Amino acid sequence: MPQPQQAQAPKINLAAVLPLSGSDRRNLNAAREWLDRKDYLQAQFQLDKISAPARMHPDVLEVAMGIHCGFKHHLKTVEVARLLVREGKCLDRPYIWLTLADSLHQLGRTQEAYDQLKELARHPCRTGLVYYRLAVYACLLGKSDEAKAHFANALATPEGVRLKREALSDEQLRDIWDFLCEP
């Protein structure tokens, strides 16, 4: 007997995305302001004013992802974030990848979160937070050697010194504290 096919999430062709209209752009900016204030209800209210065709715009999806994350709707956060990162897109927006990984981890899918961030790290990555989070997930998965390698990459970024200070009080990184204390 043939298996029913699962519905595929729509793909976004970022190169073919049309610019937002003036009113959609204003509503998006208002939603971002509310999101920055952590007022997720007002942010959603502003996002709901955006026209239907514009709701698949990457900037709109990014704000929607932030709202779902704020409400701790991790399944919805993963769904929207996957739309954005599919096929290696949004490599210039590590926040999206970090949010996706965090939501996967919150859902108990830490290995998947780790694998997702490793995919981003295969590309030129300029933010130490990606490597920091990779180190955290590696520690949680019992991969101390990999965690050390990831944190060494974090240390090589401009924010490396600050991340090291934070790591020394992060219980999730306890397995590599001895490594972090080395000169």
Does 121 share its domain with 179?
yes
DSSP letters spanning 1-35: -PPPPPPPPPP--GGGPPPPPHHHHHHHHHHHHHH
Total count of residues recorded for the chain: 183
Does 108 share its domain with 141?
yes
pLDDT digits (tens, 9 = 90+) for 46-92: 999 999 989 999 999 999 999 999 999 999 999 999 999 986 678 88
Does 67 share its domain with 130?
no
Q: How many CB atoms lie within 10 A of CB 26?
A: 14
Q: Which residue has the tokens 């090291």?
A: 164
Determine, yes or no, domain membership for 171: yes
Q: How many CB atoms lie within 10 A of CB 3?
A: 5
157 and 126 Cβ atoms separated by less than 8 Å: yes
Task: Give residue 5's pLDDT.
Answer: 47
Q: Which residue has the tokens 């939501």?
A: 103
Task: Give residue 123's pLDDT.
Answer: 85
Does 106 share its domain with 49?
no
Determine, yes or no, domain membership for 53: yes
Does 50 share its domain with 98?
no
Task: Give residue 12's pLDDT.
Answer: 54
Range of the domain at 66: 21-71
Which residues, 6+ apart, have CB-to-CB distance to 107 below 8 Å? 74, 75, 78
Determine, yes or no, domain membership for 14: no
Does 170 share its domain with 97?
yes
120 and 94 Cβ atoms separated by less than 8 Å: yes
Does 151 share its domain with 108?
yes
77 and 98 Cβ atoms separated by less than 8 Å: no
Determine, yes or no, domain membership for 16: no
Task: Give residue 79's pLDDT.
Answer: 97
Task: Give residue 66's pLDDT.
Answer: 97
Task: Give residue 92's pLDDT.
Answer: 87
Domain count, the chain: 2
Determine, yes or no, domain membership for 12: no
Query: Which residue intervals of 48-93 are DSSP H helices?
Result: 58-70, 74-85
Does 99 share its domain with 170?
yes
**Which residue positions in the chain have pLDDT lower than 70?**
1-17, 87-88
Does 115 share its domain with 56?
no
Task: Give residue 13's pLDDT.
Answer: 54
Give the domain-ending residue among 6, 41, 71. 71
C-alpha 33/C-alpha 4 separation (Å) is: 42
Q: How many CB atoms lie within 10 A of CB 179?
A: 17
Determine, yes or no, domain membership for 3: no
